[in-house]
Amino acid sequence: MSTDVTSPTGSVRPAETGAATARAFPNLALVKYWGKRDESLILPVAGSLSLTLDTFAATTTVQLDPAGEQDRFELNGHLATGTARDRVTTFLDLVRSRAGSQSRAIVRSVNEAPTGAGLASSAAGFAALATAASAAYGLELDTPALSRLARRGSGSAARSIIANVALWHAGTDDESSFAEEIPAPELAMVIATVDSSAKAVSSREAMRRTARTSPYFVAWITSTEASLTEMVAACRAGDFTQIGEITESHALRMHALIASTEPPIRYLRPASIEVLDAVVALRDAGIEAYATADAGPNVAVLTRPADAAAVATRLGEILGEDHVRVVGPGPGAHLVPDPVPPAGEAGT
Ligand code: DP6
């Protein structure tokens, strides 16, 4: 199909293409997003900044199913139900309302991140879904608009639309809250998987609890704004040491904040602390490495590309080399030609 059609609102839009496949990568925040000022629009209390990775992609095909009565979501070759399916349907409802379409869709997604590796797979997943769904339903979105759309699925997905270092502007409304690439020096990450079991409290729920119960929440917002301003300046100046110092202190502040909730939540495990100590020892030995951790026990270590192998070797001695992986800066979400095969077919 290539003819334009008139939507119910009267504007001309490209016809639904029917199917599209997109690929997106996870990102790791160097200045964290933690807390929403608007739950339904997913507007954050403060801006954040992340590195999009080159590993653990999510690939998602969206195929319109005009005869279908409900959306179908296949994840890693299995039919998804419950919350996972509901979040996809809620997201597609948003795309459908913008496209003026009633059509249900079949969504097939493959996520290359090992289960429980703590790699914000919802970020890669919703960035790929936003990119594929907007193309399949015939929405023509530029990169900021795609970032805004992905944000509605999962806040951190706004950043996975963007390559390399992404600055997510907190904004004050839907229009002003999106991510964009900013210049930065070459960075590498060493991912240390200390525990791959599922987390006890989801980020979404833990953020709510933080806003509701932590006495430190207001200080978190103001200090994050200050950290972000310093981080953006450090990125623009190419100051790796400053980038690293802000990364580690901001991550520790987030975990302190989370531990201050009622009832408390602690994501870091004893093995996480052992890795944090090893990172301090690496610095004492002259290797610049800085730790961060998302809402889980796994630790990611920011370093210069030239030092990544030495950092990986040291962390491998502690955790075993199978638990350590060097990753680099990756591309933004993009369309790809090959669809994800249906569940049950070879390769899924
Ligand atoms: C700790 O983006 O998963 O990884 O917007 O509720 O879907 P929702 O949350 P999500 O939270 C990510 C939290 C974090 C920090 C970060 O990525 O900035």
Residue 109, domain member (yes or no)? yes
pLDDT of residue 195: 83
The pLDDT score that the predictor gives to residue 168 is 98
DSSP 304: -
CA separation for the pair 32, 129 (Å, rounded): 23
For ligand 1, what atom is nearest to the CA of residue 294?
1
Same domain, 72 and 88: yes
Same domain, residue pair 127 and 193: no
| Dihedral angle sign, alpha carbons of residues 321, 324, 327, 332 | positive
Same domain, 28 and 60: yes
Residues 169 and 195 reside in one and the same domain: no
* Euclidean distance between CA atoms 76 and 343, whole angstroms: 8
Compute the distance between CA of residue 64 and CA of residue 41 in angstroms, rounded to an integer. Answer: 25
Same domain, 38 and 128: yes
For residues 158 and 202, state if they share a domain. Answer: no
CA atoms of 119 and 295, how far apart (whole Å): 10
User: How many Å lie between the centroid of ligand 1 and the Cα of residue 30?
Assistant: 12
180 occurs within a structural domain:
yes
Tokens (6 digits) for 290: 């800085």
Assigned domain for 164 exists: yes
174 and 256 co-located in one domain: no
Ligand 1 centroid distance, CA of 34 (Å): 7
Based on the fold, state whether residues 175 and 49 are members of the same structural domain. Answer: yes
On whether residue 341 sits in a domain, the answer given is no
pLDDT of 12 reads 38
Q: Both 177 and 296 in a single domain?
A: no
In a domain, 301, yes or no: yes
CA of 202 to the centre of ligand 1 (A): 9
User: Quick one: pLDDT at residue 120?
Assistant: 54
Atom of ligand 1 nearest to the CA of 151: 5
**Comparing C-alpha atoms, which of 224, 230, 233, 238 is closest to residue 187?**
238
Read off the pLDDT of residues 230-263 as tens digits, 9 standing for 90 and up: 999 999 999 999 999 999 999 999 999 999 999 9
Compute the distance from residue 9 Cα to the ligand 1 centre, in Å.
34
One-letter identity of residue 228: L
Question: pLDDT digits over 165-182, tens only?
Answer: 999 999 999 999 999 999
Q: What phi and psi, each to the nearest 5 degrees, are found at residue 30? A: -95, -30
Taking the CA of residue 32 as reference, the ligand 1 atom at the shortest distance is: 18
Mutate to test the pocket of ligand 1, among 25, 28, 33 (most ligand atoms within 8 A of CB): 33
| pLDDT computed for residue 140 by the predictor | 93
| Residue 24 falls inside a structural domain | yes
Domain check: are 157 and 25 in the same one?
yes
DSSP 115: T
Pairing outcome for strands 334-336 and 19-24: antiparallel
Distances from the Cα of 240 to the Cα of 121, 152, 304, angstroms: 27, 32, 8
Counting Cα atoms < 13 Å in the Cβ hemisphere of 247 gives 30
Residue with the smallest CA separation from ligand 1 atom 4 is 294
Q: What is the H or E stretch that residue 19 is in? A: strand 19-24
Ligand 1 centre to CA of 203 (Å) is 6
Distance, CA 33 to ligand 1 centroid (Å)? 6
The full 3-state SS of 43-98, as one line of letters, equals EECCCEEEEEECCCCEEEEEEEECCCCCCEEEECCEECCHHHHHHHHHHHHHHHHH
CATH number for the domain harbouring residue 59: 3.30.230.10
Distance 270 CA to ligand 1 centre (A): 23
Please confirm whether the linkage preceding 263 is cis (ω < 30° from 0): yes
Six token digits for residue 212: 């509701």
pTM: 0.93
- Domain stop point among 117, 152, 184: 184
Instruction: State how many domains the chain has.
Output: 2
316 and 216 assigned to the same domain:
yes
What's residue 200's pLDDT?
79
Cα of 44 from ligand 1 centre, angstroms: 10
**Domain range for 40:** 19-184
The DSSP H or E segment spanning 124 is helix 121-136
Please check whether residues 50 and 113 belong to one and the same domain: yes
119 alpha carbon to ligand 1 midpoint, in Å? Answer: 10
Task: Indicate the burial class of 245 (C-beta count within 10 angstroms; 0-12, 13-18, 19 or more).
Answer: middle
State which ligand 1 atom lies nearest to the alpha carbon of 155: 5
Q: How many CB atoms lie within 10 A of CB 228?
A: 23
Q: What is the pLDDT of residue 117?
A: 54
Question: pLDDT at position 154, please?
Answer: 96
10 within some domain: no
Closest CA to 105 of 50, 39, 156, 60: 60
Which two tokens mark 249? 């202190």
Domain boundary residue, one of 157, 184, 211: 184
Ligand 1 atom 7 nearest Cα: 154
- pLDDT, residue 16, reads 55
Mutate to test the pocket of ligand 1, among 156, 205, 253, 298 (most ligand atoms within 8 A of CB): 156
Pocket residues for ligand 1 (CB within 6 Å)?
A: 29, 32-34, 42, 48, 120, 122, 154-156, 203-204, 294-295
Q: Which residues of the chain have pLDDT under 70?
A: 1-17, 115-120, 198, 345-348
339 lies in some domain:
no
Contact 311, 301 (CB under 8 A): yes
CATH number at residue 210: 3.30.70.890
